[in-house]
Amino acid sequence: MSERLLLRGGYVLSMDDAVGELALGDVLVEDGLIAAVAPTLDAGGAERLDVAGHVVMPGFVDTHRHTWQAPFRGVCADWTLEDYFRGIRTTISPNCSADDVYAGNHLGALEALDAGVTTILDFSHCNNTPEHADAALQGLRDAGIRALFAYGYYPAPSAEPGFADHAARLADARRIRERELPSDDGLVTMGLALTEVGLLPFEDTIAEVRSAGELGVPTVLHTGCSWGSPITEGIPELDHHGLLGAEQVHVHCNTLDDRDFRRLAENGCKISSSPETELQMGMGHPVIRRALDHGMRPSLSCDVMSSNSGDMFSQMRIGLLFERAMRNDTFNARNAMPDGLDLTVRDALRWGTANGAHAAGLEDRVGSLTPGKQADVIVIGGDRLNMVPMADPVGCIVAQANASNVRHVLVAGRFAKRDGELVGVDARRAVQLARDASERVLGLVGSDGELLPPAPDGFADMLGTFAARNLARAWAIEPAGS
């Protein structure tokens, strides 16, 4: 491929206010970077790709994806959050081998690229052994996606644990940082996925958060998504210990009250909403508008590949329509019709691109077609019947497009998808590996005829009591530096 590529004659959605939105424009890619964006460009010697009738925009950024679950598609389609926890986190996850995790991460990353998602925050919480972590990382690398590999500290229950204790998990994350991901400039960079607050003694929660500072990496955690239980709460406790910060992505946040939202906003924390999961599993209302009301920049995520779609079109569409419905309800309650729609398709595009890059700490590199940034670019359009004619290209992207309409995908200036087909990877091999993983794992856990084990008597109450005790302990521990 030429080191210079001119995308000519497309509808350019730069997501950069300084660059603007061009009804007809050119984008020049040079040495893996966005070199120029203008109505017309003279780029002698560059390879030219005619993208007339297509939208050219930055790749989508997914700020929370359990990529390893790709082999288990559809398993959670009728499950609540408690079902998910028992079925995936305590049943399927412990039975996954390192090869299974590789298969999931590799196929899941390719699925993302196919849908125009050029960056994922991979919430990798099936690290049952060091080999699992290595395999998860390799799956991302082999796919060629840009990723924040968030090493998961969650200890999946096992008769033969792969780590002697919690400290050993922290040490393994340090190994990955030092040996595999020492640089913050690579295509795949390091992060940490924290165990849900309340599931561990609070001393261990403190150790997890502090390890991020020691390693110099961002973190992601599930927050405020379990009604009637202290599990995933703990914002006051984290704040009390000075453990909230700008390099944290808090996912879901549905149960949080305004005081906790203010705590997140005041500490510069980031928000990721997963509309599909939240509406299905009983987590509550997506918090996109609440984040906006607190001066925050909401981002979007696909979450569990064992249930949800792996494209950001779905998340933008569902998130936008939900927030519109909530506002429209205030009019309908007065027996009136809304006087307008205050959130637009361009807002939704920002949640899925620039805001995602901001949340992941990558805004200086991706999220917009800004000259000097990495050339993570997608081209959407073509002749499929759901997108022709594009009377309003921006409306079509959010309201009507799907992964099949993604024609070209570039990551750091290199084609990952061209003319509607993935390039540079063996997609058939990826599919077969995932099929093998699915058959093996589901065969093990479903050998007795039940994939989802029955809930033990008092299971939810037991978890709640355990979490309440762990959170109470937070107030008995002296904050550092006090």
C-alpha 352/C-alpha 296 separation (Å) is 14
Can you name the residues that pair with 62 across neighbouring β-strands? 120
- Give the CATH number of the domain where residue 193 resides: 3.20.20.140
Range(s) of the domain holding residue 142: 60-358
Give the pLDDT of residue 447. 60
C-alpha 429/C-alpha 395 separation (Å) is 36
Give the pLDDT of residue 457. 82
Within a domain: residue 457? no
Give the pLDDT of residue 458. 81
Nearest to 429 by CA among 123, 116, 102: 102
Within a domain: residue 336? yes
Give the pLDDT of residue 463. 82
Can you name the residues that pair with 5 across neighbouring β-strands? 29, 47
Q: Say how many residues make up the chain.
A: 482
The helix-helix angle for 345-352 and 312-332 (nearest 10°) equals: 140
In this predicted structure, the answer to whether residue 398 has a pLDDT above a threshold of 80 is yes
Structural domains of the chain, count: 1
Give the pLDDT of residue 303. 97
In this predicted structure, the answer to whether residue 124 has a pLDDT above a threshold of 80 is yes
Give residue-wise pLDDT tens across range 161-191. 899 999 999 999 999 999 999 999 999 999 9
Within a domain: residue 91? yes
Within a domain: residue 462? no
Q: Helices in 294-426 by DSSP H: which ranges?
A: 312-332, 345-352, 354-359, 393-399
C-alpha 263/C-alpha 217 separation (Å) is 21
C-alpha 356/C-alpha 145 separation (Å) is 15
Q: Report helix, strand and coil shares of the chain as percent, to nearest 5.
A: 40, 20, 40
Within a domain: residue 353? yes
Residue 143 sits at the vertex; the CA angle it makes with 58 and 387, to the nearest 5 degrees, is 45
Give residue-wise pLDDT tens across range 299-340. 999 999 999 999 999 999 999 999 999 999 999 999 999 999
Give the pLDDT of residue 1. 43
Within a domain: residue 3? no
CB-facing half-sphere around the CA of 230: CA atoms within 13 A: 22
Give the pLDDT of residue 368. 98
Summary mean pLDDT of the chain: 95
Within a domain: residue 313? yes
C-alpha 79/C-alpha 89 separation (Å) is 13
Give residue-wise pLDDT tens across range 38-92. 999 998 899 999 999 999 999 999 999 999 999 999 999 999 999 999 899 989 9
Give the pLDDT of residue 271. 98
Give residue-wise pLDDT tens across range 188-241. 999 999 999 999 999 999 999 999 999 999 999 999 999 999 999 999 999 999
